Amino acid sequence: MELKKNAFKAGLQEGRLQRGIWCCMTDPLAAEMMATCGYDWMLFDCEHSPMDPIRVLPMLQAVAPYPVSALARPASLNAPEMKRLLDIGAQTLVVPYVQNAEEAAEAAAAVAYPPAGIRGVAGMTRASSFGRIADYHATARDELCLIVQVETVEAMAQIEAIAAVPGIDGIFIGPADLAASMGYPGKPTHPEVQAAVVAGIKRITAAGKPAGTLTTDPEFGQKAIDAGVGFIAQDLDLVALRKGLSRS
């Protein structure tokens, strides 16, 4: 068997805008339905939802037959959790709250096998098609994609240093935490936050990396796209469900 190609990573390398949806619900049937909705990518969130690697597994299985890339966000910069997500078949990780180049290097090490990194070696994993992919351990990193999140004032100041770390495939700006860090908690569309995100996107792309962000505000989303964002989520599953069901 051959190593599965990472369409999301290929899209980043091509410079093609990729649109996705943030997933917090733990229902595989809902995930499968969303996989038919035309998104380029779906992110399964273990940081701000009840999900963990055990619950992410059936989500990955549910969306596997569809032409959508499955991303996973660990709860934190945690090498053992990242290893579990990789072993169950996640090919793209979005690591939250990376503050500097040192932490970015820790994230890069967690997704690479020795001697380049510290990812633990196992044979019977879903990622290796249960040992049937020849040379999986030697080639896996080619199709893995590592995105790190900058979401504080301090981290934003380190964008260029983080982008220069080998193994970083992209940088995601988190407006909600950035807003809180800037003194505007709960106001991710505050004009100063929007300006900081747009400036950050331009700095990330100038540093040679794809930039990403999340916003449900259409005007803010368009500003991010105009600034050159490479991947963006403009909806969350729970938000879309609430909007669809609300009577007022």
User: Which residues are tagged catalytic?
Assistant: 48
Q: What is the chain's length?
A: 248
**Angle, CA of 124, 72 and 74, to the nearest 5°:** 90
Sign of CA dihedral 197, 202, 204, 210: positive
SS3 226: helix
Residue 83 neighbours by CB distance under 10 Å: 20
Tokens 């380190």 identify what position?
A: 158
Q: Are the CB atoms for 189 and 215 separated by under 8 Å?
A: yes
What is the spatial distance between Cα 128 and Cα 111, in angstroms, rounded to a whole number?
14
How many Å from the N-terminal Cα to the C-terminal Cα in the chain?
52
Tell me 149's DSSP state.
E
User: Which residues, at least 6 apart from 8, have a Cβ–Cβ distance to it below 8 Å?
Assistant: 18, 40, 41, 69, 71, 91, 92, 145, 231
Q: Confirm if 32 and 168 have CB atoms less than 8 A apart.
A: no
Alpha carbon distance 244, 242 (integer Å)? 5
